[in-house]
Amino acid sequence: MFVDRVKIHIKGGNGGNGMVSFFRAKYITHGGPDGGDGGRGGDVIFVGDESMGTLMDFRYKRIFKAGNGQDGGKRNCFGKDGESITIKVPVGTVIREAESGKIMADITKHGEEKILIHGGKGGKGNQHFATPTRQAPRYAEQGRVAKEYDVILELKLIADVGLIGFPNVGKSTLLSMVTNANPKIANYHFTTLSPNLGVVEGRYGDSFVLADIPGLVEGASEGVGLGHEFLRHVERTKVFIHVVDAAGVEGDDPVENVRKINQELEAYNPELLKRPQVIAANKTDIPGSEENVERLKAAYENEGFAVYPISAATNTGLDELLTKVAEILKNYPEDIVFEEEYEEYDEVAVDQEPFTIDIEDGVYVVKGVGVEKMIGYTNIDTEKGFAFFQRYLKEKGIIEALEEKGIGEGDTVRIYDMEFEFWK
């Protein structure tokens, strides 16, 4: 089965901690600080791979962690950097942060790489903290904790041509006749539940990729009949072959049916109706369809949709239809790509997200991504750790902000699950 949406967990590698150590050798009792730096954590990288057609691989492996940096060692030994991991995804994969739904990346080309999480920086060893007045620093920096996210991978097909239309009109039959794809074909609705792709070899011009998209129904744009899932795929095809049952086998009116599908396209995304579309009036081997073909022409040709009578089952009229489609593709503006519009995801900006200070029952409550993380990787129970944390609060302007809010000596500050009294 075709999997086109999965949730996975990714985590960058943490930086290794800096080391506290002092040079020791015979006859030297008070050697200088020689604690090495921690290694950098590994990155989490996504790369487009055209040999992958689905997100199937992610059904079994859902957690991806880059390697942590090693802690620094004695005698200036640097910790080794953690290993980065590269996650291969099919071309056309959109990566969203699960919680906010924000798009973090859109992989549209083979070989395109995107670093989603940078590994945490390694902490500096104590040798960096020596000053003329403090020659034996007992402090080393902790490694930075890397980010982790639940992300949703969503595959949006990128095909040149998409077959759209109501269920059971013969889309899969058409695909099977003009490509080497072998989709399931049957006389009932929703035979196709996930897109099938085939390549139309260069008989009509350049080869192109044809996608058989599951049947749409009225209300698809509001999500009826998995409408959203299916319309997502429609969005990324350049040209539509709109297949309609010209014989009206199910007793409905083909002219109306074309209108209904186009209304769904428009309601989902008005851009879709601006894309080139040709109407394939199918099942013309069934007597009585000629009249409907003429009605379709009368209704749509002056709207710019060419109508081609075909019979997918008996391979009639397909050459003319595909020649036309190949010609449209040939003249297609090159610079049109169907990428998601999204703001570049900026890890650094998120890192510097501002903090908030609220006063609740006389307690000064500080919140913010940065401080929360800082608490996560500082051991505030030790005096050194606490001093380090205080320095952080000062550097980030949090102390100043607290004072602006009117904090006095001895007032209580709460930062997540930590509380302390404020003393200058």
Ligand X SMILES: Nc1nc2c(ncn2[C@@H]2O[C@H](COP(=O)(O)OP(=O)(O)OP(=O)(O)O)[C@@H](O)[C@H]2O)c(=O)[nH]1
Binding residues for ligand X, per CB under 6 A?
167-173, 185-187, 189-192, 214-215, 282-283, 285-286, 311-313
288: region left, alpha or beta (phi > 0 left; psi from -120 to 50 alpha): left
Minimum distance of Mg ion from residue 53's CB (angstroms): 18
Whether residue 78 contacts residue 35, with contact meaning beta carbons closer than 8 Å, is answered with no
Decide if residue 191 touches Mg ion (CB under 5 A).
yes
**Residue 171 annotated as lining a ligand binding site:** yes
192 assigned binding-site residue: yes
Of the candidates 225, 224, 204, 118, the one whose C-alpha atom is nearest the C-alpha of residue 161 is 204
Sign of torsion over alpha carbons 342, 346, 351, 356: negative
Find which of Mg ion, ligand X, none residue 312 binds, CB within 5 to 8 Å per kind: ligand X
Give the span between the Cα atoms of 42 and 45, in whole angstroms: 9
Total number of residues shown for the chain: 424
Q: Are 240 and 276 in contact (CB under 8 A)?
A: yes
Closest contact distance (angstroms) between CB of 289 and ligand X is 9
Q: Which residues of 367-393 are buried (b: 16+ CB within 10 A; e: fewer)?
A: ebebbeebbebbebeeeeeeebbeebb
Q: CB of residue 318 vs ligand X: minimum separation in angstroms? A: 10
* Site for Mg ion contains 257 (CB under 5 A): no
Q: Is 192 in the site for Mg ion (CB under 5 A)?
A: yes
Among ligand X, Mg ion, none, the one that 128 touches (CB under a kind-dependent 5 to 8 A) is none
- From 13-21, 167-175, 316-324, 381-389, give the range in contact with Mg ion by CB under 5 A: 167-175
Q: Which stretch binds Mg ion (CB under 5 A): 87-95, 128-136, 165-173, 321-329?
A: 165-173
Binding segment for Mg ion (CB under 5 A), chosen from 156-164, 168-176, 203-211, 320-328, is 168-176
Contact partners, residue 288, CB within 8 Å, separation at least 6? 247
Is 311 a known ligand-binding residue? yes
Residue carrying structure tokens 């620094």: 72
| 194 assigned to a ligand binding site | yes
| Nearer residue to ligand X within complex by CB, 255 or 313 | 313
Across the beta sheet with 363-367, the strand order is: 356-360, 363-367, 412-415, 418-421
Is the separation of the CB atoms in 55 and 1 below 8 Å?
no
Residue 283 contact among Mg ion, ligand X, none, beta carbon within 5 to 8 Å by kind: ligand X
Was 212 annotated as part of a binding site?
Answer: yes
Least separation in angstroms between CB 177 and Mg ion: 13
Flag whether 150 is marked binding. no
Burial class (CB in 10 A: 0-12, 13-18, 19+), 404: exposed
Q: Is 194 in the site for Mg ion (CB under 5 A)?
A: no
Residues 317-356 that bind Mg ion (CB under 5 A): none
- The least distance separating Mg ion from the CB of residue 107, rounded to whole angstroms, comes to 28
Only one of the segments 31-39, 184-192, 361-369, 395-403 lies at the binding site for Mg ion (rule: CB under 5 A); that segment is: 184-192
Collect all residues with Cβ–Cβ distance below 8 Å to 384 and sequence separation of at least 6.
138, 139
Q: Please check if 166 is assigned to a binding site.
A: yes
Applying CB under 5 A, among 172, 179, 257, 378 the residue interacting with Mg ion is: 172
Judged by CB under 5 A, the number of residues near Mg ion is 3
Residue 322 known to bind ligand:
no
Q: Using CB under 5 A, list all residues that contact Mg ion.
A: 172, 191-192
Query: Which residues are part of a known binding site for Mg(2+)?
Result: 172, 192
Query: Which residues are part of a known binding site for GTP?
Result: 165-172, 190-194, 212-215, 282-285, 311-313
